[in-house]
Structure 1
Amino acid sequence: MSNFPTVICVCSAHRKQGKTQLVMRIVEGLIKEGFILGTIKHIGGESTFDNPKVKDTTRHAEAGAKLVVAVTQSELISINKRENPTLDDAIRKFPTDYDFIIVEGFKRSTYPRFIIIDNAEEIQGLNETGQVLGLTGHIAQKKDELDKLDKIYPVIKEKDTESLILIVKNLRHYQILSYLPGTNCGDCGFQDCEEMAQNLLLKKVSIDKCPHMTAKLTLEVDGNQIYIKDFVQNIIRKSIEGMLQTLKNVSRNPRKIIIQIDSAEN
């Protein structure tokens, strides 16, 4: 499957609760199943290559991550200087044919996340922005603390890598399914989009197998690919190409056109 990687965050209430170890377990488990992935590590404040926190990113690479990016207050380490770089800035550095990007930190992001906590109180603020895929840490062994939570979350016990990978793969499958047109037409040769998504997850077929996903126009809103029917694609494409014909110094037969609209922040 290409075109977009699944982004998953690993967050904790405090430092030294095992985020790096959990990232490594996820990376190693996915690598064993043949997935391509990279990692991102969030490092608070200013930092340099000599900082132990930056050097700690090498553990991500040792686990098998193909590309590792560290994000500090002023840098995307090994990439370029940038004022206040964000998680999305780092994500855009990864090739679109990656299957996963596993992020260490960024607890305020809106991406799905695993949360590492010791007790129920620590979940405050960690479960408000992104989908919680599961809880782990010392709380996994404390039934009395789990009973204090206002919601029921999947609980992953220490060293239960199999459950981690199953949750991650299920998320990927759901995202692939939502990316497909949902017509269940059978034109791809499979019974429905669900079966197509499962085969894409297992890398038994490519997205080109779906004739409705090989169109010449794609729309992305806030990082999410939006499916557009062939008829609507044709209208939009012809309108844009017609507009370009009125502009000077524009090729009459452009190979690729990119239009980006940045909404003003409130």
Structure 2
Amino acid sequence: MMRAIGIVGYKKSGKTTLLLKLAKELIGRGYQVAAIKHISGDIDIANSDTTKYKEYLSQVAAITTKESILYLEGKSNLEEILKFLDADIILIEGFKNEKTFPKIVCLRKENEKTELFDGLQLGTASVFPPNTSYDFSTFNILKIEDIKKMTDLVIEKSFKLPNLNCGACGHQDCYGLAQEIVKGNRTIDDCPSLEPSTLVKVNGKIISMNPFIAKIVKNTIIGLLSTLKGFTKGDIEIKIKQK
């Protein structure tokens, strides 16, 4: 099951510094970590052939013996990008308007919390020594003991809802359930779409389906297979190799 946590805040609030410190601590504890960063502007590698390719091509991949980079022209939403990642925990910098995962809010000034709090905050962080009392944890990005505490929080509280807004959990959208999970009133197990009665995997990754679609897929498969000789009730496993 995918787990994620957001790191949000305004420019020069310490978001990247916090992400790197959390990533290092998580990796040191044996977790596989991935990161997604929202950038306002173009992505360019100065004076490289890859940049020249991008002037003419909408899809460019750069591959070396050590790493690979894939460029896709046009805006892709967060859910599409997440499908490319394989990690225990995904750290998401920016994307403050996304509402399907908990967040740590990086503050430069106290009054920014009014603009950045959306009910999904687990705590606040700052590059300055905290001098104000909040109703929840406040961390100093520059203190190693606070980084360790935030890492504990990430491991314990990170989650990612599928953004299907199916309503099967009793809330109008995933945002409503996410807020209740952060408050401790609900858990990730309350999302039916993450553990549907019909489980579909593509390249080993679960494809999220709302209960309505899952029921259609289930009934269609059972309807087709029930006409075959030897079919009996029970768990069904189908494997399809795409050429």
**Does structure 1 residue 241 correspond to structure 2 residue 224?**
no
1:37, 1:164 → 2: CA distance? 15
Name the amino acid aligned to 2:148: E
Aligned-residue sequence identity (percent) comes to 20
Aligned with 1:86 (options 77, 80, 83): 77
What residue is the counterpart of 1:8 in the other structure? 5
Structure 1, unaligned runs of 5 or more: 52-73, 182-212, 246-252, 258-266
Task: Tell whether the 8 Å contact from 2:5 to 2:103 is kept in structure 1 after alignment.
Answer: yes
Task: Tell whether the 8 Å contact from 2:4 to 2:92 is kept in structure 1 after alignment.
Answer: yes
1:101, 1:142 → 2: CA distance? 30
What residue is the counterpart of 2:136 in the other structure? 153
* Bigger relative contact order, structure 1 or 2 (CA pairs below 8 A, ≥6 apart): 2
**CA positional deviation for 1:100:** 0.4
**Does structure 1 residue 100 correspond to structure 2 residue 89?**
yes
How do 1:1-266 residues align onto structure 2 when only pairs under 5 Å count? 4-13=1-10, 15-50=11-46, 78-95=69-86, 98-110=87-99, 111-128=101-118, 131-138=120-127, 141-143=130-132, 146=133, 152-158=135-141, 159=143, 160-172=146-158, 178=187, 217-218=198-199, 239-242=219-222, 255-256=239-240
1:9–1:179 Cα change, 3 Å: closer
- What SS does structure 2 have at the residue aligned with 1:115? strand
Superposed structure 1 runs of 4+ greater than 3 Å apart = 74-77, 172-175, 177-181, 223-228, 235-238, 242-245
1:137, 1:179 → 2: CA distance? 28
Q: CA RMSD in A?
A: 4.1
Task: Tell whether the 8 Å contact from 2:6 to 2:91 is kept in structure 1 after alignment.
Answer: yes
Q: TM-score, normalised by structure 1?
A: 0.53
- What SS does structure 2 have at the residue aligned with 1:30? helix
